[in-house]
Chain A
Amino acid sequence: MNIEEQIREIVARITRVDKSLITRESTFKDIKADSLDIVQALVAVEETFGIEIPDEDAQKFRNFGDFVSYVEERVAQKEKV
């Protein structure tokens, strides 16, 4: 499973939204994620990929696609080190 699919599974599990409804364009509002869902999704993704996503960065995500791209970039950076 690629990074995008893994994140989609996590977000779907936490928000209890069918994963087919989560597209790269989906906003947290679209999938009715509240602030607790968002922070729990961030924490689960951090633990899955062994990265840190500070709120300062997370606040810039406009949609699910931004979230995925950010994680892909961080994972790539981590693998380089």
Chain B
Amino acid sequence: MFLKGKLALVTGSGRGIGRAIALKLASKGADIVVNFFRHREAAEKTAKDIEALGVRAEVIRANVGDPAKIDELFETIANKFGHLDILVNNAASGVGRPVMEIDVKAWEWTMDINARAALLCSQRAAKLMDGRGGKIINITSLGSPFVLPNYAIVGISKAALEALTRYLAIELAPQGICVNAVAASAVETEALKFYFKEGLMKDHRQITPAGRMVTPEDVANVVAFLCSEDAFMIRGQTIVVDGGTSVGIFTLGQKEER
């Protein structure tokens, strides 16, 4: 229960990876602010499951793509709790298109939610962490260092998020705030089912050396570790959770030939 008495905000935590992170941090004793935008029922279910773990859950709706809504979100947290210990920038959106089909609307929508929101939330969170230290964890993906089909715009936004992670890590270090990122490959979530259905992504099981898909819990476990004091000297890093897929890329198809 190393997070007992701590308060964590997990953006986009109604479903998928965000939900798993929220539950994991709650299981370590943290009170959780469950932020959602489009799926209230899911967020309320997450909050109920968090409360069942014996900690407090506060559900706050906010489109983090809208700076005014981010202000409202942090005002609510400041008024209700007066502080924050952990921020997980997890909320993400995007449009599955090849690079030549990205228009201004899709670019702005994706960048605003995936990159700008992390900047604005981190700035506000750092103020609520002032004098007590804290952890900021950004959730990114392998679409930044690698090319995934129809993923350009999200991949580009994640590259910005990873660069932001490094700048924040250095500039917030004097305040005792540890900043890192966790990058997952394809994770078994509702969002991924959408990608499969639309034919935007193929089954990753065959190309994962660890032999199974990455689950939201796999990502959540690493986030929890980065929120622990054991990870104190890890700063500005992007930790990859992909079952070996990315480093094993040149061994694909080699098995049969051996």
Contacts and interface: CB of A to CB of B under 8 A. Distances in A.
Contact of B39 (A34, A35, A36, A54): A54
Contacts of B95: 34-36
Contact of B105 (A36, A43, A55): A36
A40 interface: yes
Question: Which of A35, A36, A40, A42 has most chain B Cβ within 10 Å?
Answer: A36
Summarize A's interface: helix, strand, loop or mixed: helix
A43 B109 contact: no
Given A34-B95, A52-B61, A39 B38 contact: yes
How many A residues are at the interface, by size bracket?
Answer: 10 to 19
Contacts of A40: 105, 109
Interface residues of B, number: 12
B63 A43 contact: yes
A56 interface: yes
Interface of A: 34-36, 39-40, 42-43, 52, 54-56
B41 interface: yes
7 contacts: A36-B105, A36-B109, A52-B40, A52-B61, A54-B40, A54-B41, A56-B41
Question: Which of A34, A35, A42, A54 has most chain B Cβ within 10 Å?
Answer: A54
Nearest to A55: B38
